[in-house]
Amino acid sequence: MDIQIFEYLNNQLKDERKLFLLIFGFNLLFFISGLALGYDVHHFADKADTDGTSYYNIALDPFSSSPEESGFRHATFLYPLITYLIAQGNPFATALTMEMINITAFSFSVVMFSRVVSLDNARSSVLFYAFNPILLISTHGGMNEPLFFTFMFGALYYFRTDNFKMSAIFLAFASLARPDFVIFSFPFFLLAKDRKFLPYFLIPLITISLHGVHLIYRFGLDHFLRFTSGVDSGFPHSMIGIPFQTFFQNRFFGGVNTPAITGLNYYINEFLTWSIFFALILSIYFIYKKKHIDYFSLSLIVFGSVLQPAY
């Protein structure tokens, strides 16, 4: 019986339209349920108690807001920019737009994820990605991961199918969504497939470079190199150093102004973080020492390692 249910779900996942509508409907229902319980749209953005609060403030006026309170999130500019272009700074519309962008983007990311894993006949793994509790927090907490994963999985899919131009375009948009983490994927695209991607790499490279110039022009070189972790955190770091410094800061010294993770959640968080971290290192070892590239495992490990340490 269990096998039949599993096969049924696996067959349903093959229809991308049904898959998109399933994930979109599930997340929309989650959002509506929150409203029915008495939460207004602002609880999903400026009162989310996540990084989404900062993205909400940036999205109200992304071209003149100060980097002091939002830190490095000005570098992850695509999500608040799209929100502003739609909501035009209206507080209510901004909160609602952030939620709808994320629901739509996450639904597309599931479709792109399905395309990637179907290349390795592992489409059933979509269920583990689509209903990941951490991604549920990102989607409804005003975070920018749904957009980032949409473009990263799109870049990976087109790379795997040898459509290098489309892959480069998706990677360029991912660079605007999360430039601090996307740089770790660059070696994968450059080294795999006999470096055929190299001529197209100029597209994401120019994109992230122009974005860097934009940041320096607006805030000066010091702000670009020394965004802070938060208001009065006393913990400045460079944009490039964010992944490593945040990872070890949070693991060993505790997050700055961050509620402590306790109980079972603590052990789950630590297990996921360290297992993914060491799995990533091990996969890189096999690439360079064993000359073996397991595209499926490597891809999931790399992009999985991006998300969890970010928290």
Write out pLDDT tens, residues 195-236: 889 999 999 999 998 988 888 787 776 655 554 444 444 444
What one-character DSSP code corresponds to residue 53? H
Cα-based angle 167, 171, 176 (whole degrees, multiple of 5): 155
- What is the predicted pLDDT for the residue at 231? 41
Region 61-80 average pLDDT:
76
Please give the C-alpha separations between residue 204 and each of 168, 189, 257, in angstroms, as whole numbers.
6, 11, 34
Reported as a single tens digit per residue, the pLDDT across 46-68 is: 887 777 888 898 899 888 766 65
276, part of any domain: no
pTM over 0.95: no
- What is the predicted pLDDT for the residue at 124? 76
174 has pLDDT over 90: yes
Distance of CA 162 to the CA centre of its chain: 24
User: How far apart are alpha carbons 170 and 255 in whole angstroms?
Assistant: 32
178 has pLDDT over 90: no
295, part of any domain: no
Cα-based angle 114, 160, 163 (whole degrees, multiple of 5): 110
- The structural domain count of the chain equals 1
169, part of any domain: yes
- What is the predicted pLDDT for the residue at 221? 67
Q: Nearest Cα to 234, choosing from 257, 209, 204, 265?
A: 257
243 has pLDDT over 50: no
Are 116 and 159 spatial neighbours (Cβ–Cβ below 8 Å)?
no
Q: Residue 87 is part of which domain span?
A: 2-182
Are 170 and 79 spatial neighbours (Cβ–Cβ below 8 Å)?
no
Are 164 and 126 spatial neighbours (Cβ–Cβ below 8 Å)?
no
22, part of any domain: yes
- What is the predicted pLDDT for the residue at 269? 62
Are 10 and 123 spatial neighbours (Cβ–Cβ below 8 Å)?
yes
282, part of any domain: no
